[in-house]
Amino acid sequence: MNIVLGVSGSIAAYRAADLARELMRQGHTIRACLTDAAQQFVTPTLFETLTGNPCLIDAFDEPETGRMAHIDWARQADLILVAPATANTINKLAAGIGDDMLTTLVLAATCPLVVAPAMNPQMYANEITQRSLKTLSARAVAIVEPQEGDVACGEHGQGKLAPNSQIVDTVQAVLASSRLLAGKRVVITSGPTQEPIDEVRFLSNRSSGKMGSAIARAALLMGAEVTIVSGPVQIAYPLQAKVVRVGDAVQMLEATINESAGADIVIGAAAVADYRPADPVAGKMRRGKDNITLTLVPNPDIIAQVARSYPSACVVGFAAEPTSDLSVAMEKLVRKGLFAIAANDVSAPGTGFDAEDNDIALIRRDVAPVMSGRRSKLACALWLLDNLAR
Ligand SMILES: Cc1cc2nc3c(=O)[nH]c(=O)nc-3n(C[C@H](O)[C@H](O)[C@H](O)COP(=O)(O)O)c2cc1C
């Protein structure tokens, strides 16, 4: 595997040389990228000699003429490891700053990122550093926690770069997880549906598409080919996913059935309206004095139809229930003929519709339910796919 090793300006930078050697011993190709501050501690020559590859140090370095290295290396990387990661670099990564080669390269990459912090305990405990680490974790960056001990500045506390063996183990685990769905096709339905009342009004719901987008990102991180069938949403989906846009449930059914042919996993994260107006009005309904009655007819059960049409696929539904009682979701699992159901309690504060976090229970037949616990939607998605893939 191609690993970019980012080294930033910590006293622990010397340890990155051994890390490079250990990862090479495990069969990986290493390309190093040093920040300006890192070069106060170690030299590009050291890494070029060890790795046999050029070492990037400046945002405008171009080892191959005419090829922008930050894009080229980002595309070719299977994983980026930043070790040691300074407080400065961590805070820049969390904020999306790209003012040197290393941070620009990370911004351009879609592969998994592993960050191993090393710093003075006060810098580690600093509220901003902690917030940045949380932000990175929520984006599925693997953080190799620093250890507690005596640090170079003479203080005692948490901030020592984790042992190299722990960093290498994390890299191997992240790489293994990045291949769990290699060669698999994953189809995800996402967002709400809009059921027309007339040509300007519709019935819909509060689904944002964030969970569907998170599952798509997670599946891509795990090596899958991803298609999203999405109702109308504001959010942007990952660029590497194929996105099929639909409006109402009938269109979503047709697109999902088409796209699911040959799929290995189909996940229904869309909030499909259960009913639609029986006779949408042509043009715009006019205001009148009398009450009106809207007759609703049931919509197709998309995920159940996918399960019936493709019995060999792993078809997973979402059950957004205003309760933590799992019996409703269990009944749905059986009635719809699904492989699994991810149940989430949309009445719990901070999770569910349009929230940043989720908390799901994965229910399968003949297996005790497992709970994700409250996590970012991306972390939930990785947890869900990891459970399904294994
Ligand atoms: C001797 C020395 C050791 C340092 N060690 C660390 C360290 O372990 N961790 C850290 O976050 N910053 C450390 N710093 C501060 C960083 O080098 C400084 O914040 C720098 O701007 C980081 O730049 P970079 O993130 O681009 O590498 C150290 C500074 C000096 C002078």
The catalytic residue among 55, 153, 314, 380 is 153
Q: Which residues of 276-286 are buried (b: 16+ CB within 10 A; e: fewer)?
A: bbeeeeeeeee
Write down the CATH number for the domain with range 2-177.
3.40.50.1950
Give phi and psi for 340, each to the nearest 5. Answer: -155, 160
Confidence label for 354 from pLDDT (cuts 50, 70 and 90): low
Give phi and psi for 16, each to the nearest 5. Answer: -65, -25
Instruction: Point out the ligand 1 atom lying closest to the alpha carbon of residue 89.
Output: 25
Whole-structure pTM value = 0.85
Per residue in 63-106, pLDDT tens? 888 788 888 889 899 999 999 999 999 999 999 999 999 999 99
Helix (H, G, I), strand (E, B) or coil at 53: coil
Where in the sequence of the chain do the CATH 3.40.50.1950 domains occur?
Answer: 2-177
Q: Is the CB of 123 under 6 A from ligand 1?
A: yes
Instruction: Point out the ligand 1 atom lying closest to the alpha carbon of residue 151.
Output: 8
Q: Which of 10, 57, 93, 153 to mutate to test the pocket of ligand 1 (most atoms within 8 A of CB)?
A: 10
Q: How far apart are the C-alpha atoms of 303 and 340, rounded to whole Å?
A: 11
Q: How far apart are the C-alpha atoms of 111 and 252, rounded to whole Å?
A: 30
Alpha helix segments (H runs only) across the chain = 15-25, 44-51, 69-76, 87-95, 101-108, 121-125, 127-138, 164-177, 210-221, 249-259, 302-309, 327-336, 377-389
Residue nearest to atom 25 of ligand 1 (CA): 89
Name the residue among 304, 302, 363 with its Cα closest to residue 329.
363
Residue 201 has a CB neighbour count (10 Å cut-off) of 15
For ligand 1, the distance from its centroid to the CA atom of residue 129, given in whole angstroms, is 13
Q: Which of 86, 105, 161 to mutate to test the pocket of ligand 1 (most atoms within 8 A of CB)?
A: 86
Write down the CATH number for the domain with range 185-389.
3.40.50.10300
Predicted pLDDT at 316: 97
Q: How far apart are the C-alpha atoms of 57 and 59, rounded to whole Å?
A: 7
Per residue in 199-236, pLDDT tens? 999 999 999 999 999 999 999 999 999 999 999 999 99
For ligand 1, the distance from its centroid to the CA atom of residue 100, given in whole angstroms, is 15
Residue with tokens 């070719």: 76
- Retrieve residue 5's tokens: 């090793």
- Retrieve residue 251's tokens: 């269109």
For ligand 1, the distance from its centroid to the CA atom of residue 13, given in whole angstroms, is 10
Q: Is the CB of 37 under 6 A from ligand 1?
A: yes
Per residue in 22-61, pLDDT tens? 999 999 999 999 999 999 999 999 999 999 999 999 888 8
Name the residue among 356, 302, 329 with its Cα closest to residue 135.
356
Q: Is the CB of 132 under 6 A from ligand 1?
A: no
Residue with tokens 């949309």: 346
For ligand 1, the distance from its centroid to the CA atom of residue 37, given in whole angstroms, is 7
For ligand 1, the distance from its centroid to the CA atom of residue 24, given in whole angstroms, is 26
Confidence label for 353 from pLDDT (cuts 50, 70 and 90): low
Give yes or no for residue 338 having a pLDDT over 80.
yes
Length of the chain: 390
Predicted pLDDT at 366: 85
User: How far is residue 337 from each of residues 123, 269, 306, 313, 342, measured CA to CA in Å?
Assistant: 53, 16, 10, 11, 14
Where in the sequence of the chain do the CATH 3.40.50.10300 domains occur?
Answer: 185-389
What sign has the CA pseudo-torsion 206, 348, 358, 334? negative
Give yes or no for residue 352 having a pLDDT over 70.
no
Q: Is 153 a catalytic residue?
A: yes
User: How far is residue 53 from each of residues 3, 30, 46, measured CA to CA in Å?
Assistant: 12, 7, 11
